[in-house]
Protein backbone atom coordinates (compact mmCIF):
# COMPACT_ATOMS: atom_id res chain seq x y z
CA UNK A 1 0.00 0.00 0.00
CA UNK A 2 1.27 3.48 -0.80
CA UNK A 3 0.95 6.57 1.34
CA UNK A 4 -1.79 8.22 -0.67
CA UNK A 5 -4.77 9.18 1.44
CA UNK A 6 -7.10 7.94 -1.33
CA UNK A 7 -6.11 4.28 -0.86
CA UNK A 8 -9.16 2.26 0.19
CA UNK A 9 -9.01 0.33 3.45
CA UNK A 10 -11.35 -2.55 4.21
CA UNK A 11 -11.91 -3.22 7.92
CA UNK A 12 -12.98 -6.59 9.34
CA UNK A 13 -14.52 -6.58 12.80
CA UNK A 14 -15.49 -2.95 12.33
CA UNK A 15 -18.14 -3.06 15.08
CA UNK A 16 -15.65 -4.07 17.78
CA UNK A 17 -13.75 -1.66 19.99
CA UNK A 18 -10.56 -1.77 17.94
CA UNK A 19 -12.34 -1.95 14.58
CA UNK A 20 -14.39 1.18 15.26
CA UNK A 21 -11.19 3.03 16.15
CA UNK A 22 -9.58 1.90 12.88
CA UNK A 23 -12.61 3.13 10.92
CA UNK A 24 -12.58 6.52 12.65
CA UNK A 25 -8.85 7.06 12.26
CA UNK A 26 -8.71 5.88 8.66
CA UNK A 27 -11.53 8.25 7.73
CA UNK A 28 -9.83 11.10 9.59
CA UNK A 29 -6.67 10.37 7.56
CA UNK A 30 -8.63 10.76 4.32
CA UNK A 31 -9.04 7.13 3.30
CA UNK A 32 -12.18 5.68 1.77
CA UNK A 33 -13.20 2.86 4.11
CA UNK A 34 -15.25 -0.28 3.58
CA UNK A 35 -16.52 -1.68 6.88
CA UNK A 36 -17.39 -5.36 6.73
CA UNK A 37 -19.91 -6.19 9.46
CA UNK A 38 -22.45 -8.79 10.50
CA UNK A 39 -24.91 -6.18 11.82
CA UNK A 40 -24.73 -2.64 10.36
CA UNK A 41 -26.82 -1.32 13.26
CA UNK A 42 -23.84 -1.91 15.55
CA UNK A 43 -21.64 0.57 13.67
CA UNK A 44 -22.78 4.06 14.74
CA UNK A 45 -20.57 5.88 12.22
CA UNK A 46 -21.68 7.80 9.14
CA UNK A 47 -19.35 9.42 6.62
CA UNK A 48 -19.36 10.17 2.91
CA UNK A 49 -16.27 7.98 2.43
CA UNK A 50 -17.61 5.06 4.50
CA UNK A 51 -19.21 2.09 2.78
CA UNK A 52 -20.79 -0.45 5.14
CA UNK A 53 -21.22 -4.00 3.83
CA UNK A 54 -23.14 -6.69 5.65
CA UNK A 55 -21.63 -10.17 5.49
CA UNK A 56 -22.88 -12.65 8.05
CA UNK A 57 -20.36 -15.37 7.15
CA UNK A 58 -17.08 -15.35 5.22
CA UNK A 59 -17.66 -15.78 1.49
CA UNK A 60 -14.44 -15.86 -0.61
CA UNK A 61 -16.31 -15.22 -3.87
CA UNK A 62 -18.10 -12.16 -2.49
CA UNK A 63 -14.89 -10.99 -0.84
CA UNK A 64 -13.00 -11.26 -4.13
CA UNK A 65 -15.28 -8.67 -5.72
CA UNK A 66 -15.44 -6.56 -2.58
CA UNK A 67 -11.66 -6.36 -2.20
CA UNK A 68 -10.98 -5.45 -5.81
CA UNK A 69 -9.14 -2.13 -5.70
CA UNK A 70 -8.56 -2.26 -1.95
CA UNK A 71 -5.14 -1.06 -0.84
CA UNK A 72 -5.26 -2.76 2.56
CA UNK A 73 -7.35 -5.07 4.68
CA UNK A 74 -7.17 -4.53 8.43
CA UNK A 75 -8.67 -7.15 10.73
CA UNK A 76 -9.72 -6.12 14.20
CA UNK A 77 -11.41 -9.47 14.77
CA UNK A 78 -10.97 -10.87 18.24
CA UNK A 79 -10.79 -14.60 18.79
CA UNK A 80 -13.53 -15.78 21.13
CA UNK A 81 -13.36 -18.89 23.27
CA UNK A 82 -16.19 -21.26 22.51
CA UNK A 83 -17.14 -19.44 19.30
CA UNK A 84 -15.33 -21.59 16.77
CA UNK A 85 -12.33 -20.07 14.99
CA UNK A 86 -13.46 -16.65 13.78
CA UNK A 87 -10.00 -15.21 13.15
CA UNK A 88 -8.78 -18.26 11.23
CA UNK A 89 -12.00 -18.60 9.25
CA UNK A 90 -12.33 -14.97 8.17
CA UNK A 91 -8.65 -14.45 7.43
CA UNK A 92 -8.59 -17.71 5.48
CA UNK A 93 -11.44 -16.42 3.32
CA UNK A 94 -9.64 -13.11 2.79
CA UNK A 95 -6.43 -14.88 1.76
CA UNK A 96 -8.39 -16.99 -0.72
CA UNK A 97 -10.12 -13.91 -2.10
CA UNK A 98 -6.88 -11.95 -2.47
CA UNK A 99 -5.11 -14.86 -4.14
CA UNK A 100 -1.67 -13.56 -3.18
CA UNK A 101 -2.14 -10.14 -4.77
CA UNK A 102 1.07 -8.21 -4.06
CA UNK A 103 -0.64 -4.81 -4.12
CA UNK A 104 -2.93 -5.38 -1.12
CA UNK A 105 -1.61 -5.39 2.44
CA UNK A 106 -3.21 -7.58 5.10
CA UNK A 107 -2.82 -6.50 8.72
CA UNK A 108 -4.42 -8.50 11.53
CA UNK A 109 -4.68 -8.22 15.30
CA UNK A 110 -3.33 -11.23 17.17
CA UNK A 111 -2.26 -11.30 20.83
CA UNK A 112 1.01 -10.96 22.72
CA UNK A 113 0.77 -14.45 24.32
CA UNK A 114 0.87 -16.01 20.83
CA UNK A 115 4.41 -14.68 20.43
CA UNK A 116 7.62 -15.26 22.39
CA UNK A 117 8.26 -13.80 25.81
CA UNK A 118 9.89 -10.39 25.65
CA UNK A 119 13.52 -10.20 26.80
CA UNK A 120 13.74 -9.60 30.52
CA UNK A 121 10.24 -10.87 31.31
CA UNK A 122 9.93 -11.53 35.07
CA UNK A 123 10.24 -15.15 36.16
CA UNK A 124 6.78 -15.05 37.81
CA UNK A 125 5.23 -13.93 34.54
CA UNK A 126 7.02 -16.59 32.47
CA UNK A 127 6.57 -19.47 34.92
CA UNK A 128 3.18 -18.76 36.48
CA UNK A 129 1.09 -15.96 34.99
CA UNK A 130 1.70 -16.60 31.29
CA UNK A 131 0.91 -20.35 31.45
CA UNK A 132 -2.23 -19.58 33.49
CA UNK A 133 -3.43 -17.02 30.94
CA UNK A 134 -2.63 -19.49 28.18
CA UNK A 135 -4.83 -22.15 29.74
CA UNK A 136 -7.74 -19.79 30.36
CA UNK A 137 -7.72 -18.42 26.80
CA UNK A 138 -6.38 -21.53 25.12
CA UNK A 139 -9.05 -21.71 22.40
CA UNK A 140 -8.66 -18.04 21.52
CA UNK A 141 -4.88 -18.21 21.29
CA UNK A 142 -5.01 -21.42 19.25
CA UNK A 143 -7.35 -19.66 16.82
CA UNK A 144 -4.95 -16.73 16.51
CA UNK A 145 -1.94 -19.03 16.11
CA UNK A 146 -3.69 -20.84 13.25
CA UNK A 147 -4.57 -17.48 11.71
CA UNK A 148 -0.93 -16.42 11.88
CA UNK A 149 0.20 -19.70 10.32
CA UNK A 150 -2.23 -19.28 7.43
CA UNK A 151 -1.01 -15.75 6.78
CA UNK A 152 2.63 -16.86 6.92
CA UNK A 153 1.99 -19.66 4.42
CA UNK A 154 0.34 -17.35 1.87
CA UNK A 155 1.80 -14.93 -0.65
CA UNK A 156 -0.20 -11.87 0.40
CA UNK A 157 2.03 -9.22 2.06
CA UNK A 158 0.94 -9.41 5.70
CA UNK A 159 1.68 -8.05 9.16
CA UNK A 160 0.48 -9.46 12.47
CA UNK A 161 0.18 -7.01 15.39
CA UNK A 162 0.30 -8.60 18.86
CA UNK A 163 -1.06 -6.43 21.68
CA UNK A 164 -1.28 -7.37 25.38
CA UNK A 165 -4.35 -6.51 27.50
CA UNK A 166 -6.60 -3.97 25.76
CA UNK A 167 -8.07 -0.93 27.50
CA UNK A 168 -10.37 1.91 26.48
CA UNK A 169 -8.07 4.77 27.51
CA UNK A 170 -7.68 7.69 25.06
CA UNK A 171 -4.99 7.68 22.40
CA UNK A 172 -1.57 8.71 23.67
CA UNK A 173 0.76 8.10 20.73
CA UNK A 174 3.38 6.94 23.23
CA UNK A 175 3.13 3.21 22.60
CA UNK A 176 6.14 1.10 21.60
CA UNK A 177 6.55 -1.21 18.61
CA UNK A 178 8.90 -4.18 18.42
CA UNK A 179 9.27 -5.89 15.05
CA UNK A 180 9.69 -9.63 15.47
CA UNK A 181 8.96 -9.80 19.19
CA UNK A 182 6.92 -8.56 22.12
CA UNK A 183 7.44 -5.30 23.99
CA UNK A 184 9.51 -5.63 27.19
CA UNK A 185 7.42 -4.87 30.27
CA UNK A 186 4.47 -4.04 28.04
CA UNK A 187 1.28 -5.25 29.70
CA UNK A 188 -1.47 -3.09 28.19
CA UNK A 189 -2.42 -0.77 25.35
CA UNK A 190 -5.49 1.29 24.57
CA UNK A 191 -7.63 0.29 21.60
CA UNK A 192 -7.20 3.76 20.09
CA UNK A 193 -3.41 3.41 20.11
CA UNK A 194 -3.67 -0.16 18.81
CA UNK A 195 -5.74 1.14 15.89
CA UNK A 196 -3.10 3.78 15.23
CA UNK A 197 -0.43 1.07 15.16
CA UNK A 198 -2.47 -1.04 12.73
CA UNK A 199 -2.63 1.90 10.32
CA UNK A 200 0.98 2.89 10.95
CA UNK A 201 2.48 -0.42 9.87
CA UNK A 202 0.78 -0.27 6.47
CA UNK A 203 3.55 1.88 5.02
CA UNK A 204 6.46 0.42 6.99
CA UNK A 205 8.30 -2.08 4.77
CA UNK A 206 10.15 -3.43 7.80
CA UNK A 207 6.87 -4.94 9.05
CA UNK A 208 5.99 -6.88 5.90
CA UNK A 209 5.68 -10.61 6.63
CA UNK A 210 6.57 -9.95 10.25
CA UNK A 211 4.86 -10.06 13.64
CA UNK A 212 4.96 -6.79 15.55
CA UNK A 213 4.56 -6.37 19.29
CA UNK A 214 2.81 -3.22 20.51
CA UNK A 215 2.32 -1.95 24.08
CA UNK A 216 2.91 1.02 26.36
Taking only the tens place, the pLDDT of each residue in 67-90 is: 998 999 999 997 665 556 899 999
Distance separating alpha carbons of residues 206 and 186, to the nearest angstrom? 21
Domain ranges for the chain, please list them. 9-215
Q: For the whole model, what pTM was predicted?
A: 0.90
Looking only at the bridges linking them, the beta strands covering 210-215 and 176-179 are antiparallel
Distance of CA 149 to the CA centre of its chain: 14
The percentage of the chain sitting over the pLDDT mark of 70, rounded to a whole number, equals 89
Contact 4, 28 (CB under 8 A): no
Asked if the model's pLDDT at residue 197 lies above 90, the reply is: yes
Distance separating alpha carbons of residues 205 and 195, to the nearest angstrom? 18
Distance separating alpha carbons of residues 102 and 158, to the nearest angstrom? 10
Asked if the model's pLDDT at residue 107 lies above 70, the reply is: yes
Distance separating alpha carbons of residues 91 and 112, to the nearest angstrom? 18
Distance separating alpha carbons of residues 48 and 46, to the nearest angstrom? 7
Domain 9-215: assigned CATH number = 3.40.50.720
Amino acid sequence: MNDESSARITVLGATGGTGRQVVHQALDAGHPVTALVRDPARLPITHERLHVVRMAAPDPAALRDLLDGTGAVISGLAASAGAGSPATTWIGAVLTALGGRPDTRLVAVSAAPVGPHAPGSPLFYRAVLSPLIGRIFRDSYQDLARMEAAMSAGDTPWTVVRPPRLTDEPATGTYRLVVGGNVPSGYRIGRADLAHALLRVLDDPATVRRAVGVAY
